[in-house]
Amino acid sequence: MGGFALYKKGNKMNLKGKDFIDIEDFTKEDLSELIDLAQVLKKKVKNNETIDICKNKTLLLYFEKPSLRTRLSFETGITKLGGNPLFITKEEIDPGKRESIEDTSRVMSKMVDALAIRTFAHSTLEKFAQYSSVPVINALTDKSHPCQIMADILTIKEHFGSLKDKKLAYVGDGNNILHSLLTGCSLFGINISAATPKGYGAEEETIKLAEKFAQSSNSSVEILTDPIEAVKNADIVYTDTWTSMGREAEAKIRKTIFKDYQLNENLLKNASKNHIVMHCLPAHKGEEIDFDTFEKHSDTLFNQAENRRYAQMAIMAAIM
């Protein structure tokens, strides 16, 4: 019996054995049931209940990029589900050099029940998934970060009680977070408005996909360069670092280009009265968000970080 079926009768979700690569690979119904499951699992963890959905199962984490939240949330998450984590870095196995990605994936998947891959190129993740005999989870690529967005949707639903008629404004770099927010929000029916400097926006392919989803969910997608316009009447204001891992050489020039895209009191006065601020972390206080704004919204920000565990627990329970 699948993990979700243990907690909810009559569900239609059947994701066992399926990869979790991108938000857009799933229906709104499947994603919504994953969020429901995440809420159930969070309650059980808080109540110190025993959960054995993944008893005797092993999750292998392969990370080319370091992480605090992603590693902690996956390792503690699989442990809470009754399973076991294993962690390997690029320095230990170096796929593509010491051994091909194809062969590495085939060996890994013979030994464990699921893989969580955190890498730079999205094509690397796709190749791992192509040759793996067990489900593969996207723990971040340069293109997308679907697990983060599932935690974000969970956080928004917890805070407001509903996603209906909500507007999310994203201010900053057109990176992997924005890509997954565009598809995630438009699938769930959340209006999204994104402001990025000219030349630093999201990929056109992702924007067009989000616009297609928005038509079906009766929501809207706005692509702007003016952060004030984007934040106007927003219920959720979201930002991320101006310089992603792998682009450190651009940090100095980006600080100049993005200086008007900081979340601060002056910008947030344009949002709705009861808005929340979100950030996937780590935050560079004084750059994309000022210190006072960060501390004022810290309860939401760290609940958002904690929710990574429960969103990923739901994903693992459903696919493993």
The helix/strand/coil state of 14 is: coil
- Catalogue the E-assigned strands of the chain: 58-63, 84-89, 114-118, 136-138, 167-171, 191-195, 221-224, 236-239, 276-279
Phi/psi region, residue 6 (left: phi>0; alpha: psi -120 to 50; beta: rest), is: alpha
Tokens (6 digits) for 153: 């949707």
Residues 117 and 2: beta-carbon distance below 8 Å? no
Residues 6+ apart with CB under 8 A from 245: 65
At 115, phi and psi to the nearest 5? Answer: -120, 140
CA torsion sign for 86, 92, 94, 100 is negative
**Residue 280 among the catalytic residues:** yes
Q: Find the catalytic residue in 54, 147, 185, 280.
A: 280
The helix/strand/coil state of 297 is: coil
**Residue 308 among the catalytic residues:** yes
Q: Find the catalytic residue in 148, 262, 304, 312.
A: 148
Buried (b) or exposed (e) across 187-202, using 16+ Cβ within 10 A? Answer: bbbbbbbbbbbeebbb
State CA 123 to chain mean position distance: 18
Phi/psi region, residue 48 (left: phi>0; alpha: psi -120 to 50; beta: rest), is: left
Q: Find the catalytic residue in 19, 122, 142, 145.
A: 145
At 256, phi and psi to the nearest 5? Answer: -75, -45
**Residue 297 among the catalytic residues:** no
Residues 203 and 179: beta-carbon distance below 8 Å? yes
**Residue 292 among the catalytic residues:** no
**Residue 69 among the catalytic residues:** no
**Residue 240 among the catalytic residues:** yes
Q: Find the catalytic residue in 122, 297, 308, 309.
A: 308
Sheet of strand 221-224, all strands in order from the earlier edge strand to the far edge: 221-224, 191-195, 167-171, 236-239, 276-279
The helix/strand/coil state of 123 is: helix
Q: Find the catalytic residue in 54, 69, 113, 118.
A: 118
List the catalytic residues. Answer: 118, 145, 148, 240, 280, 308
